[in-house]
Amino acid sequence: MAGGLKWTDSLEIALDLIEQHQDVDPYKLHFTELREWVLALERFDDDPNHCGERVLEAIQLAWMDEVD
């Protein structure tokens, strides 16, 4: 993926997070922690300020869908 991941790439972000945090239950995840993890992803390349609660919720829901 050229240019890296953006906040709107919730499924791709979720898949990367699952790979890096396999022991984490996404149902118990706090948005502050989720945001930090997304910003730390190697492929992530977007403005940290463009992240709101709805964006984090979409990522968390995608993660939940993948682990269920």
pLDDT of the residue at 48: 95
pLDDT of the residue at 22: 93
CATH fold of the domain at 10-67: Arc Repressor Mutant, subunit A (1.10.10)
| pLDDT tens digits, one per residue of 15-61 | 999 999 999 999 999 999 999 999 999 999 999 999 999 999 999 99
In DSSP notation, 20-35 reads H-TT--GGG--HHHHH
Asked whether 42 and 4 are in contact (CB, 8 A), the reply is no
- The secondary structure of residue 12, as a DSSP letter, is H
Polymer length in residues for the chain:
68
pLDDT of the residue at 32: 96
Q: How sure is the predictor about 3, in pLDDT bands with cuts at 50, 70 and 90?
A: confident
Burial track 18-33 (b if 16+ CB lie within 10 A, e otherwise): eeeeeebebeebeeee
Q: How sure is the predictor about 1, in pLDDT bands with cuts at 50, 70 and 90?
A: very low
Domain coordinates in residue numbering, the chain: 10-67
